[in-house]
Amino acid sequence: MALAEDRRRLTQRLTVLRVAIGVGFVLLAFGFWFFQIVQHAQFKEMAENNHQRTLTLRAPRGIIYDRTGKLLVENRNSFNISIDRERTKDLDRTIRVLSTVTGVDQKSVKDIVDRHRREPAYRPIVVVPDATLAQVAAVTARRLDFELPGVLVQEVPTRQYPDQDMAAHLIGYVGEASEDQMKDENVTTGSIVGQFGVERVYNKLLMGEDGARRVVVNSMGREIRTLEEVPPVQGRRVQLTVNYAMQKAAEDAFRNFGYNGSAVVLEPKNGDVLTLTSLPAFDPNDFATGIDRATWASLNTNKLRPLQNRAIQGRYSPGSTFKVLIATAALEEGVITPERQIFCAGGGTFYGRFFQCLGKHGSVDMRRAIEKSCNTYFYTVGDMLGIDRIHKWGELLGLAGKSGIDLPNEVESIVPSQEWKRKRFKEKWYSGDTVSVAIGQGMVDVTPMGLAVMMATVANGGSRVVPRLVKASDEGKGWQPVAMPPSPYPPLLLKPETASVVRDGLWLVVNGSGTGGRARIAGRDVAGKTGTAQVISLQGRERARGKTDQDLRDHGWFVFMAPKNNPEIAGVVFAEHGEHGSSAAQVARHIIETYFAQRDGLPLPVLTPRPPATPTTPVRAAAVANMAAIAPPEAGQGDTALARRSRTARFVAEPR
């Protein structure tokens, strides 16, 4: 019957449908089991990556003070605008909108993103460092209407140098860690580390530990809530040996008198660096949020080399300041007594050559010779010592080699020896060479730091000091003095007579009829010595006259200690193109005066503004800007400059 047949077929086909549906549901259940149980761990992690973001909380770096507690470096809060590529649906669009909103050049934003392209996508890329409040407001306003998914604004502590370029070479600057630094210092991409000066050398103390915050974000990258937070640990506070007032005095004086150059002042008893300056300088604030290309390029191409730390990287001929070493060595070696007189008739003949003195001093003993800076006397004494003993005393007093200060990239000061010349020039030492060296010309090439250490050593009676910059650090439990490594140099006691004779001579330079009168301070007993470093030989000067706009004026030196008996400070001032030592002496005077005024609680001295020592004509201004080829001889170029001098200027002496 048709109906029964119908029924049967219906039942049969219903069963088929039932089975098919049943199989469908079983397969589905199996699928869910597979994802939710078998692959659960993997998907769980993916879900967490989706909605959790770990933000680095940058630790503020340690604050830096001077020895008197004056703040030198602090931190301020700045805002970084970053892109989280994981949450930007359309990166190009985000870049476009972001640059419009913030008013930043679209291409530069794109360049930054491209530079970080290889990094993991979850790590936000900072595209607008140190954003203005207007930019921050613009971005946060847009974020709400979902125009800028994946853009975040983070508050970060940023280095601030309130005195801008003061002591810039000493304090240094910070910047994003390079690949090598990431490996060496075990820091992550984007970490800010010290790149120069104390910031770099004491980075471990100053850096602190970054914290982290794990937050829940939605699909647009907006933070919903915080899951956990590990607060950052600020870096340690650090106290430098530097004296703010003296440092400022030095830089003010250089500017007041119109010189570039360098000054180093040490505490003779322990090597504390009270002042270390190099001018022209740079503003470390420019580096704090990532230096822009133009500023970086101009710092690097500037002919005056503002990034060079002249105190430890500039090498110059010491000129007459070298006589301090010759006098000390001669007395200690006993080649001459202080009272022995030598006759100066305006020069002397040594090894068949006439060596000039700038005066006719008649019979002078050592004190007078130092006071008058008599070349004839020192030619004679230097010749008696011989180059190897001069070299030996260079090392003992700390002038030869590196001072060992805790700053990177120091260059060696050179006080030659026979062996040195053989190695360097494959040439035998001629006795005539010694005669030039005796007055600091020829193959002598020293850094301001080298001379400062020499003066400190002479001042303290013979113990060579290692200059150091950090006095104490504080981990939160009060100031802890930074342990000083034992001096690697054996204590050397100068004969009391040596010290007193040399100091007497130096005192006369300033307080007698010598060349250092500009450093005289009533009642302070400043002792010092001027010197001149030739920029170009006399022959060269003839050649160059009128044919070059480069600044060919000589450099001025002044080394000093004060007070004469039991000196508390010792140091050096190097005035670039100061023409002679008295230019440096007037800078030194202001530093020394500041030291005593502060020590005695007197009002600090004020400089009377005066026009620069030489009237600056437009030609001169151009000349200053173009200095490079001839002076100052710096590391690497020093050797050639030295060789040139040793041939052309060997027999020319110009004492001051």
Partner 1 sequence: MFERRLYHHIDWVLIGAVLAICAVGLAMIYSTTGGAGRVYWTQVYALGLGLIAMAIAVSIDYRSLADKSHWLYFAMMILLVGVLFFGSVRGGSRRWIELGVFNLQPSEFAKATLALMLAKMLGEERRPALTNNDLLIAAGLTAVPFLIIARQPDLGTAITLLPILFVIAYVAGMPMKYIYAMLIVAVLAAPIGYKFALKDYQRERISTFLDPSSDPKGAGYQQIQARITVGSGGMMGKGFMGGTQGQLRFLPVAHNDFIFSVLAEEQGLLGVLVALGLYFFVIMRALDAARLAKDRLGAYLVLGVLASFTFQVLYNITMSAGLAPVKGLTLPLMSYGGSSLIATLAGFGLILNVRMRRFTN
Can you give the binding site for partner 1, defined by CB under 8 A? 2, 6, 9-11, 13-14, 17-18, 21-22, 24-25, 28-29, 31-33, 35-37, 39-40, 42-44, 46-48, 50-51, 89-90, 216-220, 224
Q: How far is the CB of 82 from partner 1 (least distance, A)?
A: 19
Q: What is the DSSP letter of 613?
A: S
CB nearer to partner 1: pick between 224 and 493: 224
CA atoms within 13 A on the CB side of 458: 40
Cβ proximity of 125 and 162 under 8 Å: no
132 contact partners, CB below 8 Å, separation of at least 6: none
Q: How far is the CB of 101 from partner 1 (least distance, A)?
A: 22
CB nearer to partner 1: pick between 74 and 147: 147
CB nearer to partner 1: pick between 21 and 345: 21
What is the token pair recorded at 405? 């200060």
- State the residue for tokens 């009002």: 603
Cβ proximity of 267 and 569 under 8 Å: yes
Q: How far is the CB of 46 from partner 1 (least distance, A)?
A: 5
CB nearer to partner 1: pick between 40 and 599: 40
CB nearer to partner 1: pick between 77 and 218: 218
Smallest CA-to-CA distance from 395 within 492, 484, 318 is with 492
CB nearer to partner 1: pick between 21 and 622: 21
Q: How far is the CB of 143 from partner 1 (least distance, A)?
A: 15
- CB-count exposure of residue 403 (10 Å: 0-12, 13-18, 19+): buried
CB nearer to partner 1: pick between 35 and 351: 35
Cβ proximity of 139 and 97 under 8 Å: no
Q: How far is the CB of 290 from partner 1 (least distance, A)?
A: 29
Q: How far is the CB of 40 from partner 1 (least distance, A)?
A: 5
Cβ proximity of 348 and 380 under 8 Å: yes
* E-assigned strand segments in 58-163: 64-65, 71-83, 125-131, 151-160
Rounded CA-CA distance 84/95 in Å is: 11
CB nearer to partner 1: pick between 36 and 189: 36
Q: How far is the CB of 212 from partner 1 (least distance, A)?
A: 20
Strands 237-240, 64-65: pairing kind:
parallel
Helix (H) or strand (E) holding 556: strand 555-562
CA atoms within 13 A on the CB side of 616: 12
CA atoms within 13 A on the CB side of 195: 20
CB nearer to partner 1: pick between 217 and 437: 217
636 contact partners, CB below 8 Å, separation of at least 6: none
Cβ proximity of 150 and 87 under 8 Å: yes
CB nearer to partner 1: pick between 90 and 475: 90
Q: How far is the CB of 305 from partner 1 (least distance, A)?
A: 50
Q: How far is the CB of 104 from partner 1 (least distance, A)?
A: 25
Smallest CA-to-CA distance from 335 within 391, 383, 396, 387 is with 383
CA angle 158, 161, 167 (to 5 degrees): 140
CB nearer to partner 1: pick between 19 and 493: 19
Give the other-Cβ count within 10 Å of 520's Cβ: 17
Q: How far is the CB of 8 from partner 1 (least distance, A)?
A: 11
Rounded CA-CA distance 238/236 in Å is: 6
Give the other-Cβ count within 10 Å of 91's Cβ: 14
Q: What are phi and psi of 450, to 5 degrees?
A: -60, -45
CB nearer to partner 1: pick between 37 and 483: 37
Give the other-Cβ count within 10 Å of 144's Cβ: 10
Rounded CA-CA distance 591/241 in Å is: 16
Q: Which amino acid is at 588?
A: A
Cβ proximity of 351 and 648 under 8 Å: no
β-partners of residue 558 are 530, 573
CB nearer to partner 1: pick between 6 and 427: 6
CB nearer to partner 1: pick between 1 and 606: 1
Rounded CA-CA distance 356/457 in Å is: 30
Q: How far is the CB of 221 from partner 1 (least distance, A)?
A: 10
Q: How far is the CB of 147 from partner 1 (least distance, A)?
A: 16
What is the token pair recorded at 26? 């079983």
Q: How far is the CB of 32 from partner 1 (least distance, A)?
A: 5
Q: How far is the CB of 189 from partner 1 (least distance, A)?
A: 24
